[in-house]
Amino acid sequence: MDKTPFLTKEQAEKITKEFPTPFHIYDEKGIRENARLVKKAFAWNKGFREYFAVKATPNPFILKILQEEDCGVDCSSLTELQLAEACGFSGSDIMFSSNVTPAEDYKFAYKLGAYINLDDITHIEYLEKLTGIPETICCRFNAGGNFTISTFVMDKPQDAKYGFTRKQMFEGFRMLMEKGAKHFGIHAFLASNTVTNDYYPTLAKQMFQLAADLRKETGADITFINLSGGVGVAYKPDQTPNDILAIGEGVRRVYEDILVPAGLGDVAIFTEMGRFMLAPYGALITRVLHKKHIYKEYVGCDACAANLMRPAMYGAYHHITVLGKEDQPCTYMCDVTGGLCENNDKFAIDRMLPPTDIGDLIYIHDTGAHGFSMGYNYNGKLRSAELLLCEDDSVKMIRRAETAADYFATFDFCGIMDKYLK
């Protein structure tokens, strides 16, 4: 797969004259085209809706773009619910999927009329005492064991903290019906960042059979099945990207095989594809500050793990392009690092790049989801700006960079940082 930046060196250099590096930038054209492709892939299902996972990219400008493309939002906290409300989402536009959920979060979700997705059977009585049980309610399913496709173990639901067991799903549906629930959804998340067209159809087969069994044994009116996320992106150049049209067709075949004969041919399919929707359409732009020659070669950038945590946190691969040197041979092995006081503050280890110089602009691919949103302030590092490359090739700031005043603002009650808060 060709990992081609959506920015040229000339574009990036022009942008840096107004917005200093590092910054995250998103491609509006790519986001819109991808959202339309997802909708096309599931157009066979009249109730289909993509609920974008706000946790992936919690920026109101991004959420408004997706809203214009008829997406809903998936929220997991009070703050995300507040962001969704501020962007004009309400009622069935919102899925609320949370775990270890505080009372205030449930209350606000109920107030908004969101679809509430219960993560645990004990939350049935908890929610009933807080707000009462809404007429439409969803339960999250954990199948246990290992999740496999053919003989390959993709993930281990048995080790995940999420969801009801199969037995609890039946018990929970009966409890909810006794407490006034009239319509039901089923939700599951079994694997993360899969790069295979078989994942969703395999998950769908399991979910659709569960729905048919629940309908048969409890008589519950199941109105939607949420396949959640897990459809990933090709972070590495040698990976074959998912084909969302093939994935949608695979789910359709399983739907026709299982749900239609069970009398569930009107069930809506929901998805929550934060990574697939956004990751390829965001990049972290950073400039080379230093080069170090000791036991290894190091390229030091003005971005760090505080701007993109995934490589430091669990060794995630992000492809790197040295802008303007795309056609040069990759003959230079180096670690690409930031300036944190942590040795895992590395965007790449033993990565082959073109000969790289101080001042070069580095384009780190696929940061549009779980990039900026996982940022933090260790070492007093400040979160970067977020920019949008608009469809007309103009660039606008959609979140300003933090300043020292932002960092010190929570100290303002004591007065000792006043000179930095002006």
Pick the CATH number of 280-411 from 2.40.37.10, 3.40.50.300, 2.40.50.100, 2.60.40.10: 2.40.37.10
| % pLDDT > 90, the chain | 88
Find the mean pLDDT for residues 255-280: 97
User: Can you point out the beta strands (E) in 90-141?
Assistant: 94-97, 115-118, 136-141
* Alpha helices, H only, 20-59: 28-41
3-state secondary structure of 194: strand
Q: What is the pLDDT of residues 14-44, one digit of tens each?
A: 999 999 999 999 999 999 999 999 999 999 9
The pLDDT score that the predictor gives to residue 411 is 79
The pLDDT score that the predictor gives to residue 300 is 98
Given CA atoms 114, 119, 124, 130 in this order, what sign does their dihedral have? Answer: negative
Find the mean pLDDT for residues 83-104: 97
- For the chain, state the CA radius of gyration: 23
149-158, 226-235, 294-303: segment of lowest average pLDDT: 149-158
Tell me if domain 28-279 and domain 280-411 are identical in fold. no
* pLDDT at residue 152 is higher than 80: no
Contacts of residue 62, defined as CB under 8 A and 6 or more positions apart, other chains included, come to 26, 31, 278, 388, 398
- How far does Cα 378 stand from its chain's mean position? 23
Q: What one-character-per-residue DSSP string does 195-219 give? A: --TTHHHHHHHHHHHHHHHHHHHH-
Q: What is the pLDDT of residues 67-76, one digit of tens each?
A: 999 999 999 9
Q: Which residues are catalytic?
A: 341
- Residue matched to tokens 């070492």: 379
For the full predicted model, state whether its pTM sits above 0.85. yes
User: Which CATH code is given to the segment(s) 28-279?
Assistant: 3.20.20.10
CB 245 within 8 A of CB 41: yes
DSSP 241: P
Domain layout of the chain by residue ranges: 28-279, 280-411
The pLDDT score that the predictor gives to residue 154 is 46
State the Cα–Cα distance between residues 117 and 136, nearest whole angstrom: 10
State the Cα–Cα distance between residues 250 and 254, nearest whole angstrom: 7
CB 38 within 8 A of CB 17: no
Q: What one-character-per-residue DSSP string does 324-371 give? A: T-TTS---EEEEEE--SSSTT-EEEEEEEES---TTPEEEE---TTTT
- Residue matched to tokens 């969703």: 200
The pLDDT score that the predictor gives to residue 2 is 79
Single out the residue of 380, 323, 375 nearest to residue 8, CA to CA. 323
The pLDDT score that the predictor gives to residue 218 is 98
Tokens representing 414 are 């004591």
Find the mean pLDDT for residues 92-111: 97
Q: What is the pLDDT of residues 363-382, one digit of tens each?
A: 999 999 999 999 999 999 99
Q: What is the pLDDT of residues 191-237, one digit of tens each?
A: 778 899 999 999 999 999 999 999 999 999 999 999 999 899 999 99
